[in-house]
Chain A
Amino acid sequence: MNTIPTDIDAQPNRFGLPADAAAWLAVGVIMVVTLALRGQHAWLINYPKEWVIPVADWVNVFMAWFIEAFRWLFRAMSWLISWPMEAIRITLQWLPWSATISVIVTVAYIAGGWRLALFSALALFYMVVVGYWPESVATLSLVAMSVPLSLCLGLFVGIAAFTWRSVDRVVQPTLDLMQTFPTFAYLIPILFLFGFGPVVGLIASAIYAAPPMVRNVILGLQRVAPEIIESGQMSGTNSRQLLWLVRIPSAMPTIMIGVNQTIMAALSMVIIASVIGSSADIGWEVLSMMRKALFGQSFLAGIVIALLAMVMDRISRELAHRGPVDHDAQASWLTRYRYLVIAIGAGVGFVVLAQFFPALGAYPKEWTFYPAEQLNQGVNYVIREYGSTLDAIKNNTLFYFLLPVRVGLENTVKPFTWGFDLTSTFIAFYAAGVALAAVLAGWQWNWRASVVVIILGLIYYYGTNGIPWAAFIAMTVVLAYQVGGWQTGLLALLGFGFILTTGTWVPAMRSVYLCGAAVLISFIGGSALGVWAARSDRVSAFLRPINDTLQTMPLFVFLIPVIMFFQVGDFPALLAIIMYAIVPAIRYTEHGIRSIPAHIVEAARAQGCTKRQILWNVQLPLALPEIMMGLNQTIMFGMAMLVVAALVGTKGLGQAVYLALNTGNVGEGFIAGMSMALIAMIADRITQAWSSQKKAELGL
């Protein structure tokens, strides 16, 4: 928990200003001075190359030595793992599709009944019919291998962290780092250590997918009711029995949530790992089609990924919800294991049948239904018919929102974009407008709101690129300190210090700009939808399955539709990020408002509040901590998507990581990945501290 700073307002200094307002004044001074001097001193804007600390080179030197020294070890591990992996892959590929599907459908039936079985059957059958079964099976076999590894790893690290405080102290920050570390960045060192091949994807996904398991194991073990543990102790368990017979089984519901998340993360990473192009799996299919601009094809393959994700998610989630089942000792062997018998029977049956009906073994090519061309034509038709509208949307967003946020009004307002040149009259009007808004905000709320308005106004005018780094760091550190105390302030200072001195400031600001813009839209739009969903059950019921689906999708999938209609660049990336990051904003807002105790709302209604008054004066203030957590998650989701968005040609840290992956530069990859993780962590700490501060103020 972050410490909540005491009320600093209470102690005005000798200027009669509250200490935290004085800090913002200082930030303002730094801003004005650096902006005034930027003409003469370019280093205020562009951190000089000569000052860069060559951390990337150091990392490279170290890695070169490390790889030289330990390559044999990792190669041996890689060789060892490749055997069971190949065995699983060959088995799954040898099995007739009909046999594999019947086994999976039986599992789906056990987990979730007829509906889930039918859904799984249709989803899997789609993969067969469009002819992507071999690729799907390749992906499936990687997941099937990496998930058990990941679960074992997660279980044992989780137990160790739960048992020993010292382990926990190392594990917790590591988890924080791992969950904010960009996905591509995982691949670089693994690629180096383990060499090319599907093993890289396997190991990367096993490591990447372990943190949710670790977290849920720790959480589950901590949450076991003390009475259950005491009853175990009084039954005379020793410590080993207490762990394996009492603690872990009692924590199983929470651990199963971890299993579900781990499966989804493993799938996501297996798909992402296909960018190294070492396995003929479905992720590679999407990517290579995307690169060839064959959108219909990549769309059909993308649906396979989406369906795989949904089937895996539903089955593992339903299995998690299913309570323990008693094996009545009186029942016969056959009734006890009837599902196992059915699954094996169906599997073997189809293997045998496939010998007589080859179509059940390898689906005949001429029966496939692959409407890629028709899709392409459809998309082309839409682009032909509505191209001007699509362009208008794209250009307006670019000219009036994205470009100003990136390079500032001062570089955007040109006859080509806004239709006129930037004149001093326009600047004066703009400044007056911002000043008026700031005064109004101060009058309506408080001086903090004015500060927010002024900062937004400055960013819009100078752009994230044009704000001097010193002013930006000062701003973030002051905010972090005031919200989260000195630890958060220090993290912000050191974090941005690292980014600045390692020479990644420019791409970092590029990432901040794109992610910030997407988060802003997602947060505002998502909160509004969340409010609507909280007030209407019908809207809520409509949004829930959409949110569920969006949240289980591997990040890759989001790129396909935006690329189809808007090609490459910042705008399609923005849309992709919003699609993914809007979900937590909706969910947390709705949950926050819906979980306000009914009696408080009733009391407000009894006092004669209108619906609008209840929303603004009761529901939103009380839901604020939860809404802030929604913002937190929106930022985290946005950062995660930002990396993947590098594939559609955005610039910034994501692109830096991606380039490092392609050129095999471990040092650059580490710096860029670390910078991204640091930005995410700072944003995470600030929003979390803010949320818990609000929570404490409300006495929740």
Chain B
Amino acid sequence: MTQTEQSSQDVKLSCRHLWKVYGENPKQFFSNGATTKEDREKIYARMLETSHIGAACDVSFDVHVSEIFVIMGLSGSGKSTVVRCLSRLVEPTVGEVLFDNIDLLKVSENELIDMRRHKMGMVFQNFGLLPHQTVLENVAFPLRVQGTSKAKRNQRAREMIELVGLQGREHAFPRELSGGQQQRVGIARSLAVEPEVWFLDEPFSALDPLIRRQMQDEFLRLQKMLHKTIVFITHDFLEALRVADRIAIMKEGEVVQIGTPADVVMRPADAYVTEFTKDVPRVKVIKVEDFMRPPAEGLSESAAISGDTTLEELLPRLAKSAGPVAVSNGAQVIGQVTAQDVVTALASAETGDTAGS
């Protein structure tokens, strides 16, 4: 997995062996604390007998600083439960949630409120705006509950409203706005306190496809400016591929695969993931850096492309040049690709073989 590629001090938020079980007495399954794969099977069997439901089962992952970490799964896969465990909106049954290496599950109610006031922001699928407050009041609300003065919080709220492009609608009420506009308010509100970690729970799922597309672009634009650490929940695989640095795919409470979009598409972990990848146009997902080779000596840097160029963008370039195309990180040449490499990468992605390496 790619987690090992980055050093551990870059980890902003992580969860370890996180379980959320619903039922009469969910704690009963975790008396000995061990959760190997074998234990898990036993626990599932016992949960089934006692009519308990495991919404999140032994979930572990790290989210790195300034990374967009997407949790993707169908409804009922437990993705919403996991993101709520990360912010402790839902109390996990067992496990650890480490926020800057502090176990969030051990902090007191007041410390938790303090962390939410300063370090976390969250965007909700159905916006969760307060119906009795104007756009301005909604965006200023997180500052208001902290006790920020009215002048100060309104100024900050105006900045945020401008950031999401809603200037002029400060005095509108949520009911007077379109879905897309309401979600912009939700985004502005979640950013008002300058959070370090930004949770987005299916932020665009309630919107029309065209608006959704616009909002994704908007979101990526914001992230380019803000560099937040992001946990992004979606049930839309294509959306996940579009916005993610890394994706965790969940099924029935378990994480079945974690990897970059290209990882997931080119090397799906099991039949379930393969099913999602079937209709994905490879050329849009696979990037040059996913399959480039070490550069040959004396390759000219003049016409170099960057590593995050998709195949779709690369193809016209390859059509024009006869030889290999140089890949550069802006300072020096780090690799090269040829037309043959592209064909190999695409072919292996179709069959599911491991490519390039």
Chain A residues near B (Cβ < 8 Å): 225, 227-228, 230-238, 241, 245-246, 249-250, 252, 323-324, 326, 328
> What is the CA–CA distance of A228 and B128 in the complex, to the nearest angstrom?
4
Task: For residue B191, give the distance in angstroms from its CB to the closest CB of chain A.
Answer: 12
Known: A227-B124, A227-B125, A231-B129. A236 touches B89 (CB 8 A): no
> What is the CA–CA distance of A237 and B117 in the complex, to the nearest angstrom?
8
A227-B127, A234-B199 known; 20 new pairs, CB 8 Å cut-off, are A225-B126, A227-B124, A228-B131, A230-B128, A231-B122, A231-B129, A234-B121, A234-B190, A235-B117, A235-B142, A236-B142, A236-B146, A237-B113, A238-B145, A249-B131, A323-B175, A324-B131, A324-B132, A324-B173, A328-B171
Given the complex, which residues of A lie within 8 Å of B120, measured CB to CB? 234
> What is the CA–CA distance of A279 and B146 in the complex, to the nearest angstrom?
52
Task: For residue A96, give the distance in angstroms from its CB to the closest CB of chain B.
Answer: 37
User: CB < 8 Å: which of A233, A236, A249, A252 contacts B114?
Assistant: A236
> What is the CA–CA distance of A228 and B125 in the complex, to the nearest angstrom?
11
**What are 20 A-B pairs at a CB distance below 8 A?**
A225-B128, A228-B128, A230-B124, A231-B124, A233-B89, A233-B116, A234-B87, A234-B121, A235-B141, A236-B114, A236-B142, A236-B145, A238-B110, A245-B141, A249-B133, A323-B132, A323-B173, A323-B175, A324-B131, A326-B171
> What is the CA–CA distance of A236 and B128 in the complex, to the nearest angstrom?
14
User: Is the Cβ of B116 less than 8 Å from the Cβ of A235?
Assistant: yes
Interfacial residues of chain B within 127-147, with CB under 8 A of chain A in the complex: 127-134, 141-142, 144-146
> What is the CA–CA distance of A292 and B190 in the complex, to the nearest angstrom?
70
B189 contacts the other chain (CB 8 A): yes
Given the complex, which residues of B lie within 8 Å of A231, measured CB to CB? 122, 124, 128-130, 186, 189
User: CB < 8 Å: which of B113, B128, B129, B173 contacts A326?
Assistant: B173
Task: For residue B239, give the distance in angstroms from its CB to the closest CB of chain A.
Answer: 20
Beta-carbon contacts of B76-119 to A below 8 Å, as 1s and 0s?
Answer: 00000000100101000000000000000000001001101110
Task: For residue A395, give the distance in angstroms from its CB to the closest CB of chain B.
Answer: 59
Given the complex, which residues of A lie within 8 Å of B133, measured CB to CB? 249, 324
Task: For residue A458, give the distance in angstroms from its CB to the closest CB of chain B.
Answer: 48
User: CB < 8 Å: which of A230, A233, A249 contacts B130?
Assistant: A249
Known: A323-B173, A326-B173. A227 touches B116 (CB 8 A): no
> What is the CA–CA distance of A245 and B175 in the complex, to the nearest angstrom?
18
> What is the CA–CA distance of A564 and B124 in the complex, to the nearest angstrom?
63
User: CB < 8 Å: which of A232, A236, A245, A250 contacts B117?
Assistant: A236
User: CB < 8 Å: which of A227, A235, A250 contacts B145?
Assistant: A235
Given the complex, which residues of A lie within 8 Å of B118, measured CB to CB? 236
User: Is the Cβ of A237 less than 8 Å from the Cβ of B145?
Assistant: yes
User: Is the Cβ of B128 less than 8 Å from the Cβ of A250?
Assistant: no
User: Is the Cβ of A230 less than 8 Å from the Cβ of B122?
Assistant: yes
> What is the CA–CA distance of A562 and B131 in the complex, to the nearest angstrom?
48
Q: Write the chain A residue with the least CB distance to B193.
A: A236
User: CB < 8 Å: which of A236, A249, A252, A324 contacts B116?
Assistant: A236
Interface centre among A225, A236, A245 (most CB of B within 10 A): A236
Given the complex, which residues of B lie within 8 Å of A234, measured CB to CB? 87, 89, 116, 120-122, 190, 199
Task: For residue A225, give the distance in angstroms from its CB to the closest CB of chain B.
Answer: 7
User: Is the Cβ of A227 less than 8 Å from the Cβ of B128?
Assistant: yes
Q: Write the chain B residue with the least CB distance to A245.
A: B145
Instruction: Give me the 6 closest cross-chain CB pairs, A-B, nearest first.
Output: A236-B117, A231-B128, A227-B128, A235-B142, A234-B122, A236-B116
Given the complex, which residues of A lie within 8 Å of B89, measured CB to CB? 230, 233-234
Task: For residue A305, give the distance in angstroms from its CB to the closest CB of chain B.
Answer: 35
User: Is the Cβ of A252 less than 8 Å from the Cβ of B145?
Assistant: no
Known: A234-B87, A235-B189, A236-B145. A246 touches B173 (CB 8 A): no
Given the complex, which residues of A lie within 8 Å of B121, measured CB to CB? 234
Interface centre among A231, A241, A252 (most CB of B within 10 A): A231
Task: For residue A164, give the distance in angstroms from its CB to the closest CB of chain B.
Answer: 18
Task: For residue B353, give the distance in angstroms from its CB to the closest CB of chain A.
Answer: 43
Beta-carbon contacts of B334-350 to A below 8 Å, as 1s and 0s?
Answer: 00000000000000000
Task: For residue A326, give the distance in angstroms from its CB to the closest CB of chain B.
Answer: 5
Task: For residue A421, give the distance in angstroms from its CB to the closest CB of chain B.
Answer: 69
Task: For residue B139, give the distance in angstroms from its CB to the closest CB of chain A.
Answer: 10
> What is the CA–CA distance of A228 and B145 in the complex, to the nearest angstrom?
15
> What is the CA–CA distance of A572 and B113 in the complex, to the nearest angstrom?
64
Given the complex, which residues of A lie within 8 Å of B117, measured CB to CB? 235-236
User: Is the Cβ of B132 less than 8 Å from the Cβ of A249?
Assistant: yes
> What is the CA–CA distance of A324 and B189 in the complex, to the nearest angstrom?
20
Interface centre among B118, B125, B146 (most CB of A within 10 A): B146
> What is the CA–CA distance of A324 and B137 in the complex, to the nearest angstrom?
12
User: CB < 8 Å: which of B126, B146, B193 contacts A227?
Assistant: B126
Task: For residue B229, give the distance in angstroms from its CB to the closest CB of chain A.
Answer: 15
> What is the CA–CA distance of A233 and B84 in the complex, to the nearest angstrom?
11
Given the complex, which residues of A lie within 8 Å of B145, measured CB to CB? 235-238, 241, 245
> What is the CA–CA distance of A249 and B118 in the complex, to the nearest angstrom?
24
Beta-carbon contacts of B181-193 to A below 8 Å, as 1s and 0s?
Answer: 0000010011001
Q: Write the chain A residue with the least CB distance to B120.
A: A234
> What is the CA–CA distance of A481 and B114 in the complex, to the nearest angstrom?
54
> What is the CA–CA distance of A230 and B129 in the complex, to the nearest angstrom?
10
Given the complex, which residues of A lie within 8 Å of B128, measured CB to CB? 225, 227-228, 230-231
User: Is the Cβ of B130 less than 8 Å from the Cβ of A228?
Assistant: yes
> What is the CA–CA distance of A232 and B122 in the complex, to the nearest angstrom?
10
Q: Write the chain A residue with the least CB distance to B175.
A: A323
Task: For residue B254, give the distance in angstroms from its CB to the closest CB of chain A.
Answer: 24
Given the complex, which residues of B lie within 8 Å of A233, measured CB to CB? 89, 116
Interfacial residues of chain B within 239-271, with CB under 8 A of chain A in the complex: none
Given the complex, which residues of A lie within 8 Å of B146, measured CB to CB? 236
Given the complex, which residues of B lie within 8 Å of A323, measured CB to CB? 132, 173, 175
> What is the CA–CA distance of A237 and B114 in the complex, to the nearest angstrom?
9
Known: A230-B89, A236-B145, A326-B173. A246 touches B130 (CB 8 A): yes
Q: Write the chain B residue with the least CB distance to A253.
A: B131
Given the complex, which residues of B lie within 8 Å of A235, measured CB to CB? 116-117, 141-142, 145, 189
> What is the CA–CA distance of A344 and B113 in the complex, to the nearest angstrom?
44
> What is the CA–CA distance of A236 and B141 in the complex, to the nearest angstrom?
9
